[in-house]
Amino acid sequence: MKVQDLKINYQVSKEDGSFHLYSLTEMGKRSPIKYLCSVKKHNSEKFYVEGCEPTSKFDVLQEQIKNKIESYEYDSEYYNPCYRKGVFEELIIHDYLISLGFENVDGDTYILSDKNIYGFNTSDISVSVWGLSALGDVLKNGSPNEEVAVILHTGFASWIEVKCKRNVNDIKKGIDGLLKPLLLTDSVNLITKSEKLQSIGDIDILMHKLTMSLDHSKLDVKSYLKKQLLEIANKL
């Protein structure tokens, strides 16, 4: 088996004695090609995934590659060895916060961007993960910080802080530990308040909007609410 055999099935990049394999068909989230895993060369005819026996048979190597990709806890592209140290945690936590509905607004700071039933934002939840940026830590200390701080901003110059070891699971626990009590108590409070309110009954409610050209449009809220509530129910 030769390197050319690998190139039939993968895009191949050689670095530091390893051959990094990328998909020929899938795009990465942050690069034009998706990283899969790396293999090493044993001699002129044999390759292997680290931890496996060298083989000259391509189908055996394919199985090693498949098993390696399946062993990853997260998507294979997070494990790209070409990334600087510390990027693994930075990318996963960034994507985790985005998946929770947060929007990155300033480096390490994220704001909850969920819209309410009327289409605007009524929450004001802001979270930062101090010390997560791998580049900033390397420039300052020579290597990523071993500890990060998950911050829930509570007002001007005030915050609640949880310190975590620099690993994905601990940082996620820190984020969840700060946000879950907040979101649960907010939900209970809002439900309690809503139960005190009367049904809107036959009241006509209109949503008004001015376009960029100053055209005035309006929409019946009841039909809009029914549509939005059905979409929410279908996601549950």
The span from the CA of 174 to the CA of 178, in Å, is: 6
- Identify any residues that bridge with 208 across adjacent strands, giving them in sequence order: 218
Q: Tens digits of per-residue pLDDT, 70-88? A: 999 999 999 999 998 889 9
User: Any idea how long the chain is?
Assistant: 236
Q: Which residue has the higher pLDDT, 194 or 220?
A: 194
Q: Using an 8 Å Cβ cutoff, are 117 and 225 in contact?
A: yes
Q: Tens digits of per-residue pLDDT, 146-201? A: 899 999 998 888 889 999 999 999 999 999 999 998 888 877 777 777 778 777 66
> What's this model's pTM, rounded to 2 decimal places?
0.80
- Identify any residues that bridge with 78 across adjacent strands, giving them in sequence order: none
Q: How confident is the model at residue 220 (pLDDT cuts 50, 70, 90)?
A: low
- Identify any residues that bridge with 220 across adjacent strands, giving them in sequence order: 206
DSSP state at residue 209: E
Average pLDDT score, the chain = 84
Q: Strands, DSSP E only, in 63-157?
A: 102-106, 109-112, 126-130, 147-155
Could you write out the DSSP letters of every residue in 181-217? HHHHHHHHHHHHHHHTSPP-TT---EEEEE-TT--EE
The span from the CA of 184 to the CA of 34, in Å, is: 38
Residue 212 pLDDT greater than 60, yes or no: no
Sequence letter at residue 59: D
Contacts of residue 214, defined as CB under 8 A and 6 or more positions apart, other chains included, come to none
Task: Specify the DSSP element, H or E, that contains 70.
Answer: helix 58-71
Q: In terms of DSSP bridges, do strands 109-112 and 102-106 run parallel, antiparallel, or are they unpaired?
A: antiparallel
Residue 61: CB atoms within 10 Å: 22
Q: Tens digits of per-residue pLDDT, 12-47? A: 999 988 999 999 999 998 889 999 999 999 988 899
Tell me the percentage of the chain whose pLDDT exceeds 90.
Answer: 52
